[in-house]
């Protein structure tokens, strides 16, 4: 076993295939491949987080959340590297991307579903029976991170409404006044449940920060041009920036 063989570096370093001779295309490919690796790791960490939450293991859940938040910060920092590429440099090879687009990142859609998004429109980019579609659909049918957090609250002695625990997991979460009252009680107790809740708010804010940096990078690179995958580009991305993952945790801020 060597460093190279353990990390499969021959495969990893041979996985970049620029479609032009433009100098900056390699950077574009590497950055997005690294994003996909981090998405893979975040999915792995969130799976572990949900297991720890449902087992009532607050300290380990907090540790895992800290790791996910650190990965998110790395993802935000990678935008700085992409922004070293000027609009003219990107345009020099953009046409070679054809219809490929970040909308087709099945891992990011799976990540969104794990965090609670339930939106069948995402399947437009994934053919029936494709591995990406299967994975996203499976994530949309499992408990989200917030569902696991509610089960964690049960282990901490909080009387979570049965309707919240037994809801249809394939449907979007609807903000609940009853759950919000419960969350306010957890914050008033100022114990482990409140700490986990605050880290979930950090996670929500961290993803919003990544979305903001992403859309600003798109604006400075292609302006108001349509996206390569046929989307409206920056205008669509702006619509996602303030989309809350855990709306109940934000709704109670004005009640504290």
Binding residues for substrate: 28-32, 94, 228
| Binding-site positions | 28-32, 94, 214, 228
| Binding-site positions for heme | 214
Return the HEC string of the chain: CCHHHHCCHHHHHCCCCCCCCCCCHHHHHHHHHHHHHHHHHHHHHHHHHHHHHHCCCHHHHHHHHHHHHHHHHHHHHHHHHHCCCCHHHHHHHHHHHCCCCHHHCHHHHHHHHHCCCCCHHHHHHCCCCCHHHHHHHHHHHCCCHHHHHHHHHHHCCCCCCHHHHCCCCCCCCCCCHHHHHHHHHHHHHCCHHHHHHHHHHHHHHHHHHHHHHHHHHHHHHHCCCCCCCCCCCHHHHHHHHCCCCCHHHHHHHHHC
């Amino acid at each position: 076993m060597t460093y190279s063989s353990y990390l499969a570096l021959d495969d990893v370093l041979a996985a970049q295939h620029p479609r032009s001779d433009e100098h900056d295309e390699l950077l574009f490919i590497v950055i997005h491949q690294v994003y996909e690796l981090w998405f893979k790791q975040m999915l792995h960490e969130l799976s572990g987080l949900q297991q720890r939450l449902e087992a009532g293991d607050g300290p380990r859940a907090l540790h895992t959340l800290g790791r996910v938040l650190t990965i998110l910060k790395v993802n935000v920092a990678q935008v700085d590297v992409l922004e070293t590429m000027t609009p003219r440099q990107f345009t020099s090879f953009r046409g070679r991307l054809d219809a490929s687009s970040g909308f087709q990142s099945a891992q990011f859609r799976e990540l969104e579903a794990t965090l609670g998004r339930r939106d069948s429109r995402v399947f437009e980019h994934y053919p029936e029976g494709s591995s990406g579609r299967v994975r996203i659909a499976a994530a949309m049918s499992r408990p989200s991170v917030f569902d696991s957090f509610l089960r964690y609250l049960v282990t901490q002695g909080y009387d979570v409404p049965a309707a919240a625990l037994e809801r249809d997991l394939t449907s979007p979460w609807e903000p609940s006044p009853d759950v919000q009252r419960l969350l306010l009680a957890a914050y008033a107790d100022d114990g482990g449940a409140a700490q986990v809740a605050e880290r979930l708010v950090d996670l929500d804010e961290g993803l919003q920060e990544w979305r903001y940096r992403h859309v600003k990078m798109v604006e400075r690179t292609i302006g108001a041009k349509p996206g390569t995958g046929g989307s409206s580009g920056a205008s669509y991305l702006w619509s996602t920036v303030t989309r809350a993952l855990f709306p109940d945790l934000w709704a109670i801020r004005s009640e504290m």
